[in-house]
Amino acid sequence: MRSVLTSSRDIALALGRSPFQPFAHAGSCPICEKEVVFEVRDGWLRDNYLCSGCGSIPRERAITHVFRTLFPAVDGLVAHESSPAPRGFSPWLKARCPKLVQSHFWADRPPGSVHQGFRNENLESLTFADASIDVHVSQDVLEHVFDLDRVSRELQRTLRQGGAHVFTTPLVNKERPTFQRAAMREGRVGHLAPPVFHGNPIDASGSLVTFDFGYDLVERIDAAAPFHTTVWIVDDIWQGIRAEYNEVLVSRRR
């Protein structure tokens, strides 16, 4: 059985060791809201830095930290989460926000209907009324949409004044411009780069990646709709928040 590191210096040294060696360290999970052990199983921290309590990964802990900072009183929010995950932030939010609506998208189901316990919502054409939502949440969803500008307008339309879209999406291009990998043309998908798929909680075949985003995503969103978008970079070993592409973005309705 591996020893559990408790010193910040020892944890930092273990994270930076090359070649990487699996280890565990003590900490406090913002989702579990208690002291836990974090298991670091691989050098690719984004998918392999797990909380022993809730099984969350770093980006899920990062969005929880940001959300709790922005919205300390969760129970009164009218919230919508697109494509919730079965672990991490999604169940945390569901347990604390009675007015939360969780949705997935099924193209063959009526918009706004309920299927398998979830509302059927297409981010490009939401069925929510104007100015009816306090906060939209999405985790690694925007890199799979085709019409990013339309999604931005729909999120802005349905948010109340001062409302926000709090989300993660991998900014893989960093300072380089955003690159569109696939486009919808006359109802058919056109590939502009070799297809790449990410996991999908409702489809075993996965979700096609349509964009490799850079930091210019902020300007793209704010140009499409009256938003003010900021990027939060959280690095906190004690909370198990350190990984690649770990940014949390917040788009506030102007």
Spans of all domains in the chain: 4-56, 60-253
Helices and strands per DSSP (H, E), number in the chain: 6, 18
Contact 77, 71 (CB under 8 A): yes
Average of per-residue pLDDT across 17-30: 96
Q: Give 227's strand partners.
A: 253
With a pLDDT cut of 90, the percent of the chain lying above it is 93
Superfamily of domain 60-253: Vaccinia Virus protein VP39 (3.40.50.150)
DSSP letter for 3, please. Answer: P
Q: Residue 187's pLDDT band (boundaries 50, 70, 90)? A: confident
Give Cβ neighbours of residue 191 (< 8 Å, ≥ 6 apart). Answer: 181, 182
Joined tokens for residue 201: 């909680």
Tens of pLDDT, residues 241-253: 999 999 999 999 9
Mean pLDDT, the chain, rounded, equals 96
Q: Give 165's strand partners.
A: 136, 251
Distance, in Å, from the CA atom of 178 to the CA atom of 113, rounded to the nearest integer, reads 34
99-104 vs 118-120, strand pairing mode: parallel
User: Residue 156: what are its φ and ψ, rounded to 5°?
Assistant: -65, -40
Tens of pLDDT, residues 154-180: 999 999 999 999 999 999 999 999 999
Q: What pLDDT was estimated at residue 3?
A: 81
Q: Give 229's strand partners.
A: 251
Judge whether residue 1 has pLDDT over 70.
no
Q: Fill in the amino acid letter for 169.
A: T
The order of strands in the sheet holding 49-51 is 4-5, 23-29, 34-40, 49-51
Q: What pLDDT was estimated at residue 203?
A: 87
Q: What pLDDT was estimated at residue 127?
A: 98
Distance, in Å, from the CA atom of 103 to the CA atom of 113, rounded to the nearest integer, reads 10
Q: What pLDDT was estimated at residue 202?
A: 84
Q: What pLDDT was estimated at residue 142?
A: 98
Average of per-residue pLDDT across 27-44: 97
Q: What pLDDT was estimated at residue 186?
A: 86
Q: What pLDDT was estimated at residue 154?
A: 98
Q: What pLDDT was estimated at residue 204?
A: 86
Single pTM value for the model: 0.95
Pick from 64, 13, 84, 14: nearest CA to 239: 64
Tens of pLDDT, residues 110-135: 999 999 999 999 999 999 999 999 99
Pick from 175, 171, 182: nearest CA to 147: 182
User: Residue 14: what are its φ and ψ, rounded to 5°?
Assistant: -65, -40
